[in-house]
Structure 1
């Protein structure tokens, strides 16, 4: 029997990417909800077999500028209270952390580009062990605190909180395991203003995407597969 995976998407090109095949292989039917366009209904989100909260360029704390975030936070909070399987990526992980009572705030700097993670002891025992030797894509200027009761899984220099888990069904990732390196040009176009603001050469990211993309795709699918199979 097919299972429903609801993916909350904030910008069109930040979708499930290379994670979509892993879901299809396990019998999930994917339905996207576009934040700010589609209503994020708390009951519908809570009832889905799996929820994936994807990334985006807005801040969790910008509810006055982007009112849709209020309803999204409430819906995510209801799902997490029910301990339903939930994966958050970048903004998605920040929304999950905020819904669980942790602080989310600007870091005062940006982390953009491919770089490896350093796993904690808990991270070594988590599905992230599959990506510990592979540079992953980072693209954020905000950071989250670790929610009460959650385990901190990974860090990078200057960003100690790169991932958390709360039991076996709730996983938040600050970095982008899902990004399809063959479509990195969409990211470079969509975030062109941010790259220019931080003085980052898109050619460097393009080269790293070509260099690391294939191995990251394999490792990311393995990591998410381990997590999904343990649900």
Structure 2
């Protein structure tokens, strides 16, 4: 089992686990990088994510679902995920997620993707609920549950001010909203999986948590993968980034 892969998984999985949405009862176990075996035990309790990790590892001929390449493929995206067969993934999901209500994933034969954005926008029912009157929670959950990018403006103790663009619902499509500064955490009770943050860092966010410091290529991958997913599900106005100006793109409309 890859210790680096286990820690990478924990960086992204901790915030929903802390909120009680998925994973083990003891979310603090994910903030113990010196105990990768404990992180692995916790990771196996993420029923959704673990399904994708197992599938990606098998597709790549790897025997470790927490191989760093596998974990990156799920949360961020890489060529390992690109090579996975959508039909094979869908067959696996029909078995693993039978009884899962809502979502568009059963009809996603050609676009199923072992990536967190697929789970958020197609397996969960929230995207479909955007068009249902009286469902204001749907947009908020989609925005917070997705992996989104931003740029650190300042760091104070265990918190950081990060500029990013939230999703907005126009009534017919999803699109990037006006620039917003969010106060998020990168450490809890003196425990963190990051060495630290500095202004200017390009980061990945999940709920109210800074998961990782990204390269420009990784940020492009996160944004472009989400853009394709939103377009497929809602006909949204997001489109893939093709230029190298990702530090400004992280806080500007995706074009």
Q: Which structure dedicates a bigger proportion of its chain to helix?
A: 2
Q: Which structure dedicates a bigger proportion of its chain to strand?
A: 1
Same structural fold, with TM-score higher than 0.5 when normalized by the shorter chain: no
> Could you state the TM-score of these two structures normalised by the residue count of structure 1?
0.32
Higher relative contact order, chain-length normalized (CA < 8 Å, sep 6+): 1
